[in-house]
């Protein structure tokens, strides 16, 4: 970054500060990861200078001799990775990808079934504060006491409300979805089925869990979580929805695609096609299982009865009498980053809920395995125990930073 350093020391210092924070801290936020240096280079490339409204072969501006093959390459790699009929790599991120998908198949006022946020759904799946909830009529479904999606209740709701779209997808729900059961319910009531796989896309690409793409009409995702690509979105769909999805992305919702981002997506998809990514994805799931078991041993209540994915949702309030906000703050003070999170039907508020969400996909990218997870759970437990003892938290912070140094993010930077 020699040019940046010379020209803009303020921004340079903020970037190097963030680099140090990432290097010395333990990143356990379930939606973050570390991209490769090749992905970073593609993101910082001259493709950021180019406008390319439209699609390969059908652009509004000239000079597309490199953008067209680039976008086609990203699409081909994504198709190979997920076995999709059609792929649109232009969505800027997950929330726009979902909006584009809704806009492609729904009219204002249409009914959608989506999972309740406190049961592990997502804001963009119908939370009243979102734009989509003002346009469409969202009805929430929930998990049952066993922590599984209540398929019987889902079917009842589907028959009662006759939705145009039934939406699966989670930001904190951790159990394997029964794709067939879910999409059969949609078929029974003549609804379109959609799955937002943002959190688990990398686990699917790495074949650690079954691929839902053949089952669903539309599948949306981000590219930056378990998939370990640049921040961005993507939509996959059956051929019959291809035209509507593309038209909805552009000109319906977005302007020019971010071609530097699409370049970085293409690089990440090629990485995910390598055998080493399968090893990574399987290790993520193994690590999450160890996390679940070790926390359970120490008396923590894990929501949904455990995890099949990369994260756990922990009820710290009923387990240890500490709120999600207190736990998040104490862990942060000790150099461990998680986020406070609602638990199903949380009696507390979203800003100070009962739970925390912990994900292992980023630390697995750094090479941490079962042994390291056990040590990390030891620190988490200790931190929650001494949560208001600042001196003790500062001591643990030093230990965590020293430990993290052994697992460099970008060894040669
Ligand atoms: N912010 C992402 C998450 O943490 O789940 C998705 O919205």
**Predicted confidence (pLDDT) at residue 223 exceeds the cutoff of 90:** yes
Is residue 354 situated within a structural domain? Answer: yes
Does the beta carbon of 31 lie inside 6 Å of ligand 1? yes
HSE-CB of 89 using CA atoms within 13 angstroms: 32
CA-based R_g, the chain, Å: 22
pLDDT digit string, tens, across residues 97-154: 999 999 999 999 999 999 998 888 999 999 999 999 999 999 999 999 888 898 999 9
Q: Does 290 lie in the same domain as 226? A: no
At residue 6, the pLDDT reads 96
Please tell me whether residues 229 and 172 are part of one structural domain: yes
Residue 12 maps to a domain: no
Residues 244 and 315 in one domain: no
Within a domain: residue 5? no
How many alpha carbons fall within 13 Å on the CB side of residue 143? 24
DSSP for 33-89 reads: ----HHHHHHHTSGGGG----EETTEESSS--TTHHHHHHHHHHHHHHHHT-SEEE-
Residue among 228, 231, 340, 366 flagged as catalytic: 231
The two tokens of residue 191 are 């609804």
Report if residue 74 sits inside a domain: yes
* 413 pLDDT more than 60: no
Taking the centre of ligand 1 as the mean of its atom positions, its distance from the CA of residue 242, in whole angstroms, is 26
Among 251, 272, 293, the domain boundary falls at 272
Residue where a domain stops, chosen among 238, 272, 306: 272
Within a domain: residue 291? yes
Q: Look at ligand 1, atom 2, and give the residue with the nearest C-alpha.
A: 31
* 336 beta partners: 26
Q: Do 171 and 54 share a structural domain?
A: yes
Which residue range is the domain that position 53 belongs to? 39-272
The answer to the question of residue 10 being in a domain is no
For a mutational test of ligand 1's pocket, the pick from 27, 28, 31, 324, i.e. the residue with the most ligand atoms closer than 8 A to its C-beta, is 31
What pLDDT score was predicted for residue 244? 98
Q: Check which CATH number belongs to the domain holding 56 and give it.
A: 3.40.640.10
Alpha carbon nearest to ligand 1 atom 1, residue = 31
Catalytic residue among 12, 16, 32, 51: 51
The total number of structural domains in the chain stands at 2
Q: Which of 248, 272, 296 is the last residue of a domain?
A: 272
pLDDT at residue 294 tops 80? yes
Residue 145: per-residue pLDDT: 84
Clarify whether residues 392 and 288 are in a common domain: yes
Separation between Cα atoms, residue 299 and residue 195, nearest integer Å: 33
Q: Of all atoms in ligand 1, which is nearest to the CA of residue 123? A: 7
Average pLDDT, the chain: 96
Per-residue pLDDT, 22? 94
Q: Identify the residue with better confidence: 308 or 119.
A: 308
The predicted model gives 13-27 an average pLDDT of: 94
Whether the CB of 171 sits within 6 Å of ligand 1: yes
Using CA atoms, how far apart are residues 57 and 54, in angstroms rounded to an integer?
A: 8
Average pLDDT over residues 160-179: 96
Q: Is the pLDDT of residue 412 over 90?
A: no
Considering the domain architecture, whether residues 71 and 214 belong to the same structural domain is answered as yes
> 126 CB contacts (<8 Å, ≥6 apart)?
112, 114, 132, 133, 136, 138, 139, 140, 167
Does 184 lie in the same domain as 331? no
The answer to whether position 13 is within a domain reads: no
Residues 138 and 234 reside in one and the same domain: yes
User: What is the C-alpha separation between 153 and 176, in angstroms, rounded?
Assistant: 18
One domain, residues 349 and 219: no
Residue among 27, 118, 225 to mutate when testing ligand 1 (max atoms within 8 A of CB): 225
| Model confidence, pTM | 0.96
For 342-395, the pLDDT digits (tens) are 999 999 999 999 999 999 999 999 999 999 999 999 999 999 999 999 999 999
pLDDT digits (tens, 9 = 90+) for 45-58: 999 999 999 999 99
Contact by Cβ (8 Å): 317, 384: no
Q: What is the CATH number of the domain that holds 313?
A: 3.90.1150.10
Looking only at the bridges linking them, the beta strands covering 54-55 and 58-59 are antiparallel
Identify whether residues 266 and 288 lie together within a single domain: no
Question: Which entry of 27, 155, 196, 217 is annotated as an active-site residue?
Answer: 196
Residue 409 lies in a domain: no
| Ligand 1 atom at shortest distance from the alpha carbon of 122 | 7
Average pLDDT over residues 18-26: 93
Residue 411's pLDDT is 63
Mean pLDDT within 66-76: 98
Does position 240 have pLDDT exceeding 90, yes or no? yes
Same domain, 259 and 284: no
Residue with tokens 């939406």: 167
Same domain, 93 and 70: yes
Query: Annotated catalytic residue: which of 124, 222, 307, 364?
Result: 222
């Amino acid at each position: 970054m020699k040019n940046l350093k010379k020209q803009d020391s303020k921004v340079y210092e903020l970037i190097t500060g963030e680099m140090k924070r990432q290097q010395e801290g333990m990143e356990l936020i379930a939606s973050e990861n570390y991209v490769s240096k090749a992905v970073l280079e593609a993101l910082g490339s001259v493709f950021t200078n180019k406008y390319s409204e439209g699609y390969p072969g059908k652009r509004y501006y000239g000079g597309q001799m490199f953008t067209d093959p680039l976008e086609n390459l990203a699409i081909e790699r994504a198709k190979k990775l997920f076995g999709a009929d059609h792929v649109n790599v232009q969505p800027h991120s997950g929330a726009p990808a979902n909006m584009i998908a809704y806009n492609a198949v729904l009219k204002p006022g249409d009914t959608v079934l989506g999972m309740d946020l406190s049961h592990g759904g997502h804001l963009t799946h119908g939370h009243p504060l979102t734009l989509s909830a003002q346009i469409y009529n969202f009805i929430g479904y929930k998990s049952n006491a066993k922590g599984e999606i209540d398929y019987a209740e889902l079917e009842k709701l589907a028959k009662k409300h006759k939705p145009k779209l039934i939406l699966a997808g989670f930001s904190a729900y951790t159990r394997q979805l029964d794709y067939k059961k879910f999409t059969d319910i949609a078929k029974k009531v003549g609804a379109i089925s959609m799955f937002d796989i943002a959190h688990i896309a990398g686990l699917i690409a790495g074949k650690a869990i079954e691929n839902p793409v053949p089952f669903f009409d539309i599948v949306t995702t981000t590219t930056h979580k378990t998939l370990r690509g640049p921040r961005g979105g993507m939509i996959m769909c059956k051929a019959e929805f291809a035209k509507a999805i593309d038209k909805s992305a552009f000109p319906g919702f977005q302007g020019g695609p971010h071609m530097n981002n699409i370049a970085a997506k293409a690089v990440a998809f090629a990485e995910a096609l390598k055998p080493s990514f399968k090893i990574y994805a399987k290790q993520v799931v193994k690590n999450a299982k160890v996390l679940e078991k070790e926390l359970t041993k120490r008396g923590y209540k894990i929501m949904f009865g455990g995890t099949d994915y990369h994260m756990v949702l922990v009820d710290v309030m009923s387990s240890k009498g500490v709120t999600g906000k207190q736990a998040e703050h104490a862990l942060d003070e000790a150099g461990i980053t998680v986020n406070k999170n609602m638990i199903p039907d949380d009696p507390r508020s979203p800003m100070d809920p009962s739970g925390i969400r912990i994900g292992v996909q980023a630390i697995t990218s750094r090479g941490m395995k079962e042994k390291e997870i056990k040590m990390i759970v030891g620190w988490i437990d200790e931190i929650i125990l001494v949560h208001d003892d600042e001196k003790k938290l500062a001591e643990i912070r030093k230990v965590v930073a020293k430990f993290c140094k052994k697992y460099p993010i970008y060894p040669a930077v």
